[in-house]
Each structure stands twice: as structure tokens, then as C-alpha cells.
Amino acid sequence: MEESFDTEGSFDDGSCLSSQSPGSLSPARRQNKEKEIKETKTTVNFVTFPVSQSTPEQQLLKPNEWSYCDYFWADRKDPQGTTTVSGFEVLLQKQLKGKQMQKEMAEFIRERIKIEEEYAKNLSKLSQIPLAAQEEGTLGEAWAQLKKSLADEADVHLKFSSKLQSEVEKPLLMFRGDNFKKDMKKYDHHIADLRKQLVSRYAAVEKARKALADRQKDLEVKTQQLEIKLSNKTEEDIKKARRKSTQAGDDLMRCVDLYNQAQSKWFEEMVTTSLELERLEVERVEMIQQHLRQYTTLRRETDMFNQSTLEPVDQLLQSVDPAKDRELWVREHKTGDLRPVDMDI
């Protein structure tokens, strides 16, 4: 009476499909079947799993992919060990954490933008300071160009900050808005409702199992009393007890069947929803990757433009000629070219 998962998420449970009611089995056969169930299956938090030592190893639904749908079936204790967290809750928390990380990345880029804006402001302010404005000649031209390059560089950094805002920060903020958390809550409630139904169906199974045990015990007691003539029970009483035992067995079969149906539904929804969450996580990572790559592209462009603002400065610095500067200055400021000579006696 082994139970196995197929890759579509359905369950094959022989006890549900058997045409023979547990209540109609002899006590010895019933005990053997119960022992077989205990050896091949275990129920943890109302979810039934095969015992790994007694069944062939299950094949993963998505081998070699480390997919969500293969690794979050069991529940686990929270870090404090006080409450139980379902595997699905772990997946949902991953989604919510991803949303928070995305928000914090946007905040980081916002701080980067502020730095760029402040840097550009200071560069522009510095470029307008009239220090050494009286320098003349080729050195004066190079100095003036250096100051102008600060203004050009300031413009580059302003453009960089603007592009960061529109092409990196804004997309990070806008990706998956307020409705995202609502969607996650819908997933949470849907799976939680299926799990609650599973708990209810499991309770019904246990109740039916106890009722069957009681009916079986009553039948055995009456049969023994009849055999040793300890009571006036008639064969009709035995038949009535046997009918009740059979009915209890049928009820147990029905409850187990309903439980398995609920578990199968939960299984299927877990697979479908976990794969959707997996897709959403891939989408999130790829989106962030795309915009962070855009950040590095913009940064390289900024460096390139900054380099271009310095090229005229480099060229003019290479042209600085102290001799020429001296000539230019002399020509402009000379007061006469006659040299003094000794005075005659």
C-alpha cells in the first residue's frame, strides 16, 4: 500500500481506490495493513510524505535546475524555533525581501545622484573664481582653459546625474509598484486556504480512523462473548456490529479519499505558484542587472567626456613656452630698448 508522487502533482493511494472496506477486513489483516502504512508513509504537519528508506527516490520535477517547485515542500522552524514556517512562506519572504532590496538600491543611486549634483555645483562655482585671472601669455591661456574645463566637467556630471535618475533610479523605483504586495498576499491566502482544508480533511480522517477502531473493537468483543456464551447476543447482533464496522471502514475510505484530493490540489497549486514566484525572481534579478549595467555604461561615458574636457588643457599645456611668454610680455610692456652706457668724464 505504498503511496507515490507523480510529476504532475497527483497522488496514487491504494487505500482510496480499494474496493474492500477496512471495516470488512479481519483484525489481523487490518493490523498488517496499518503497519505497512506506518512503514512507508509519515505525516508531518498534516502533510503526508513517503518514508525515504522504504520507497524509491523521487525524481525532481525540474532536475538540475534547483527550482523552487522541488525544494520547499516541508515546513521549518523560524530562527527562534518558536513557530513553524511553511516552505511557501519562505518563498514569499524571498519575494518581499527582493522588493525591499530593489528599493534600497534605488535609494543608493539617489545618494549617488546627490553627490554628482553637489560635485557639479562645486566645480561650476570653482570655475568662476577669478584667482590668477591676471596671468598672461600662453600660460594665461592654458590657465583660462583649465578653469573653463571645470565648467564643462560640471556639465558632464549634471548630465550624468540626470541620466542616473531617469535610466537607473526611476526604473528601480517603478518596477513592481504597490500592487505587488497585494498580489503576494493573494498567493499567500490561496495556498494557506488549501493548507487549512488539508488540516480539516486530516482531522476527519483521524476521527473516522478512531470510529473504525471503536467499531472493530465492539465487533470483536461481541464475537468473543457469543463464542464463549457470556451473553445472550444473537447472530443478528453480530451482523449489525459487522455492518457498522464495514460502514465505519467505508467512512474512513471516503475521508482518506477527500484528504488525498485536498493534498493533490495543494500539491498542484504549490508547483504552479512556486514556479510563478521563481519566474518573478528571475525577472527581478535581470531587471536590476540591466539597470546596473546601464549605470556602469553611464559612468564610463562620464569618464570619457571628462577626458575630452581635459584634452584642450593638455594640448595647451604642451604648448606652454616660457621664452615665448617672455617675448609676448616684453613686447606689450616694454618702455624702451636703449641700454644705459657709462657716463663720459
Nearest of 189, 183, 186, 191 to residue 72 by alpha carbon: 191
Report the C-alpha gap between 157 and 115 in whole angstroms: 10
Question: CA 308, 313, 318 angle in degrees (round to 5)?
Answer: 125
- In contact, 25 and 33? CB cutoff 8 Å: yes
Greatest mean pLDDT among 8-22, 107-121, 229-243 lies in 107-121
Q: Which residue has the higher pLDDT, 306 or 293?
A: 293
- In contact, 153 and 306? CB cutoff 8 Å: yes
User: Per-residue pLDDT tens for 37-86?
Assistant: 556 788 889 999 888 766 677 888 998 899 999 999 999 887 787 888 99
Lowest mean pLDDT among 40-54, 95-109, 272-286, 295-309: 40-54
Q: Write down the pTM of the prediction.
A: 0.76
pLDDT at 308 over 90: no
Report the C-alpha gap between 141 and 143 in whole angstroms: 5
Lowest mean pLDDT among 209-213, 252-256, 276-280, 331-335: 331-335
Report the C-alpha gap between 312 and 332 in whole angstroms: 26
Q: What number is the average pLDDT over the span 99-119?
A: 97
pLDDT at 34 over 60: no
Q: Which amino acid is at 314?
A: D
pLDDT of residue 50: 85
Residues 6+ apart with CB under 8 A from 204: 255, 258, 259
pLDDT of residue 306: 79
User: Per-residue pLDDT tens for 192-222?
Assistant: 999 999 999 999 999 999 999 999 998 888 8
The per-residue pLDDT of the chain, averaged, comes to 85
User: Per-residue pLDDT tens for 309-318?
Assistant: 778 888 888 8
pLDDT at 229 over 50: yes
β partners of residue 85: 76
Nearest of 17, 59, 15 to residue 40 by alpha carbon: 15
pLDDT at 341 over 80: no
pLDDT at 106 over 50: yes
